[in-house]
Structure 1
Amino acid sequence: MRIAVAIPCYKVTQHVLSVIAAIGPEVEAIYAVDDACPDGSGRFIEENNRDPRVRVLYNPENRGVGGAIITAYKAALADGMDIVVKIDGDGQMNPALLPLFVRPLRRGQADYTKGNRFHRPESMQGMPPVRLFGNAVLSFLTKLSCGYWNVMDPTNGYTAVRTCVLAELPLDKLEQRYFFETDMLFRLNTVRAVVKDVPMDAVYADEESHLKVSRVLPEFLRKNCSRLWRRYVYNYLVRDFNVGSLYSLCGALLVFMGTLFGAWQWIVSSSTSHPATSGTVMLAALPILIGIQCLIAFLHYDVSNIPTEPLSLSLQRQVDDSNP
C-alpha cells in the first residue's frame, strides 16, 4: 500500500526537520502543510529539506490543525495514496511508531487508528494532572457523542486512515480547529468505520501549546452535545429503528411523564397543605424508575453497537463485484 504522512506546520521550525528525517522508507510521500505560519514554516522546509518525498502545501489563511490536515488529505486522495498518517511537526509524536498505526489498516482490521496515551499507567507519568483530568472527561463525552465506546484519548492527533474511507466523508464539512479529531470520529461513525487505539507514551517537548482550555471547553461541550443529538437521530430514527430506539423513546417518555406528574402533585400538595398519599408518590416514582431502566438498556445497546466490520473491506468487495 502507498503510505503518505501529513504534517501540519505552524510555528514548528525548531523540530519539523528532525521529524521529517525520522520518517522511515516505507513512506512514499510527505505533505508538509504551511497553515499561514507567521514563521514561514513552508519556506523554511523548502530551503533546508533534502528529502525528495517532501511536498510543501500552503493554506492561504490560517485554518487550524484540522484545516491543514484536510488540505493534506485532499492531496493524498488526488495522488492515489492508500493510507495517510498524521504526525505533528513539534516533535511530540515519534515517527518510529508509524508501522504500529499502519499495521491494522494493512491487515484489514480497521479503517482508522489513533494514539492512546492512557493504555499503560507508565505512559501517563509525564502528563500534567489538569490535562489528565481534562482528557478523561473529554474521552467520556466523545464516547457519548461519537459512539466509539472502545476508544480513549479522543484529542490525540497521531492518527492513520485509509483513503478509501476518506473518500466517503464530507471533508469540507469537518471542523477545522481543535475539535477536528472529535468531529472526525463522529463522521467515521456515520459511515460505520472501524476505529482502533494504538498504545503510545505521552511526550512533551518545549513547544508552547496554542490551546486555551478556558476558551475551548465551552465549545467542546456544546459541539459534543450537538454531535450526540445528530448521531442519535441519524442512527436510531432515520437510518434505522431498532430495539435501542424503543428503549430510548420509552425511557425518555416515562421519565418525562413521571417527573411532570410528580411536579404537579407537589404543587397541589403545597397549595392545599395536604400531603400526597403513598399511592400518588408511587404513581410518580414508578414511571421514572422504569424509564431510567429503559435508558440504561439503551446505553447498553449503544455500547454493543460499535462498528466491527471495516468499511474498507466492504468498499473493496464492491469494487471486486463491479470488476469481475
Structure 2
Amino acid sequence: MNMINSYNTQFIAVVIPSYKVTKHILGVISAIGPEVSRIYIVDDKCPDESGNYVEAHCTDSRVIVIRHEQNLGVGGAVMSGYRQAIKDGAEVIVKVDGDGQMDPALIPNFVGPILAGEADYTKGNRFFDLEEIRSMPPVRIFGNAALSLLTKLSSGYWDLFDPTNGYTAIHADVASHLPFDKISKRYFFETDMLFRLNILRAVAVDVPMDASYGEEVSNLKISKIVGEFLIKHLRNFSKRIFYNYYLRDISLASIELPIGIFMFLAGGIFGGWHWAISAKEGLATSAGTVMLSALPILMGLQLILAFLAYDIATVPTRPKHKKFLNRKILKKNND
C-alpha cells in the first residue's frame, strides 16, 4: 500500500461490469480499498437488475451506477465505464469482475507500475506461481496456453501470458486514445484490447496474481467461440503487420516476411507438384528436383523466423502516457 500512498493525490477509478453477479458484487465492492476514488458499476442490462440491487444495498459513497438499455457484453460495459471515468478526470482506471474471482486487495499492484511511469496498461497473469496453477481447471490451463500463443502473434506482446485475464488497469490518457466503438464488445474484448494497445505502441506488463474458482458459472462456451476467435486473431495479425511494418515504417523485417512466405510456399508447391507426378508415374524424384524444393522452403522458413525474432525484439518499452502528458502540457501552455 505504500506505493499508492505516495500517489495519494491521484484519481484512481474502478470499473465493474455487472451481469448476473448480484451474489458476489457487494463483497467485491466492500473489499476495494481507500486508494480508489470512484467505483463504476455498469449494469449491462442484467436480468437480476444488479444496478438497482447495488443502489439498494450498498452505502459506499464512491459507487456510481451506469445502466445499459441493452446488453452489450463485457467489452461494451467496460468501455462505458472508461468513458465515464475519463470524463470525471480519472488518472488510472482499473477493471475488476464482479463475480469474486479477483482480489480487490491487488489493485495497488496493478496501479503501481502505471503511476510509477513504467507501464501504460497492466493485466493479471495467473501462471507465475506454478503451485497455484494446480487449482486451475485443466481445460482452462490448456485453453489459456493456446490462446496465449495466438494472442502473442496477433497483438505483438510476446512477453505477456494469460491473455483472457480480465483484471486490468490502464492510464486514462492512453484509454482516451482507444477506438472504443471498434473494440470487440464480448468475449474477445481482452485480446482485442491488447491489439489496439500495440497499435498505439503502449507498454503493457503482466502482474502476478492468484485466481479463485468457486461456484460461479462461466457463460463462455468454448465450442461456440473457437472459429470466431481464430478469424479475429488472423484479422488482427494482418492489420498489425500492415500498420507497423508497411504503413508506419519500412524495415528489413518488412522485406523478410513477404519474401520468406513466397519462398516457403513456392518450394512447397513445386515439391508437392513433382511428388504427385512421380507418384503417378511410379518414378523416383531426382535429387536436383528435391533440392530445388527443399532450398526455398528452408530459406523461406529462415526468413520468417528472422521476421519473428525482429517482431519479438520490438515489443513496446517506452510508456505512451508520458508523451500524451507532454502534449497536453504543451497545448495548455500554448493556449
Output the TM-score relative to the length of structure 1.
0.97
Once residues 100 and 34 of structure 2 are traced to their aligned partners in structure 1, the CA distance between those partners, rounded to angstroms, is 19
Residue correspondence of structure 1 range 1-324 to structure 2 within 5 A: 1-324=10-333
Letter of the structure 2 residue corresponding to residue 235 of structure 1: N
Out of 14-23 and 314-323, give the one that drifted further.
314-323
| Preserved CA contact (<8 Å) 1:123 1:200 | no
Once the two structures are superposed, residues 255-290 of structure 1 have per-residue CA deviations (whole angstroms, 9 ceiling, x without a partner) of: 122122223323443455443321121111111111
| Preserved CA contact (<8 Å) 1:30 1:53 | yes
Q: CA RMSD in A?
A: 1.3
Once residues 34 and 113 of structure 2 are traced to their aligned partners in structure 1, the CA distance between those partners, rounded to angstroms, is 19
What is the identity percentage for the equivalent residue pairs of Structure 1 and Structure 2? 52
Once the two structures are superposed, residues 132-154 of structure 1 have per-residue CA deviations (whole angstroms, 9 ceiling, x without a partner) of: 11111111110011000011000
Partner SS, residue 71 of structure 2: coil
Out of 120-129 and 256-265, give the one that drifted further.
256-265
Partner SS, residue 172 of structure 1: coil
| Preserved CA contact (<8 Å) 1:36 1:58 | yes
Q: Alignment length, in residue pairs?
A: 324
Once residues 22 and 159 of structure 2 are traced to their aligned partners in structure 1, the CA distance between those partners, rounded to angstroms, is 36
Once residues 87 and 268 of structure 1 are traced to their aligned partners in structure 2, the CA distance between those partners, rounded to angstroms, is 60
Partner SS, residue 196 of structure 1: strand
Once residues 109 and 187 of structure 2 are traced to their aligned partners in structure 1, the CA distance between those partners, rounded to angstroms, is 25
Once residues 18 and 131 of structure 1 are traced to their aligned partners in structure 2, the CA distance between those partners, rounded to angstroms, is 25
Query: 1:317 Cα shift?
Result: 2.2
Once residues 267 and 22 of structure 1 are traced to their aligned partners in structure 2, the CA distance between those partners, rounded to angstroms, is 67
Query: 1:320 Cα shift?
Result: 3.1
Out of 201-210 and 164-173, give the one that drifted further.
201-210
| Preserved CA contact (<8 Å) 1:169 1:187 | yes
Once residues 98 and 273 of structure 2 are traced to their aligned partners in structure 1, the CA distance between those partners, rounded to angstroms, is 60
Once residues 97 and 293 of structure 1 are traced to their aligned partners in structure 2, the CA distance between those partners, rounded to angstroms, is 43
Once residues 256 and 219 of structure 1 are traced to their aligned partners in structure 2, the CA distance between those partners, rounded to angstroms, is 26
Once residues 272 and 145 of structure 1 are traced to their aligned partners in structure 2, the CA distance between those partners, rounded to angstroms, is 44
| Preserved CA contact (<8 Å) 1:84 1:161 | yes
Once residues 34 and 158 of structure 2 are traced to their aligned partners in structure 1, the CA distance between those partners, rounded to angstroms, is 34
Q: Which runs of 5+ in 1 are unaligned?
A: none
Once the two structures are superposed, residues 60-79 of structure 1 have per-residue CA deviations (whole angstroms, 9 ceiling, x without a partner) of: 11111111101101101111
Output the TM-score relative to the length of structure 2.
0.94
Once residues 252 and 330 of structure 2 are traced to their aligned partners in structure 1, the CA distance between those partners, rounded to angstroms, is 33
Once residues 46 and 286 of structure 1 are traced to their aligned partners in structure 2, the CA distance between those partners, rounded to angstroms, is 69
Once the two structures are superposed, residues 4-55 of structure 1 have per-residue CA deviations (whole angstroms, 9 ceiling, x without a partner) of: 0000111111111111111111111100010101111000001111011100
Partner SS, residue 328 of structure 2: helix
Partner SS, residue 173 of structure 1: coil
Q: Which runs of 5+ in 2 are unaligned?
A: 1-9
Partner SS, residue 240 of structure 1: coil
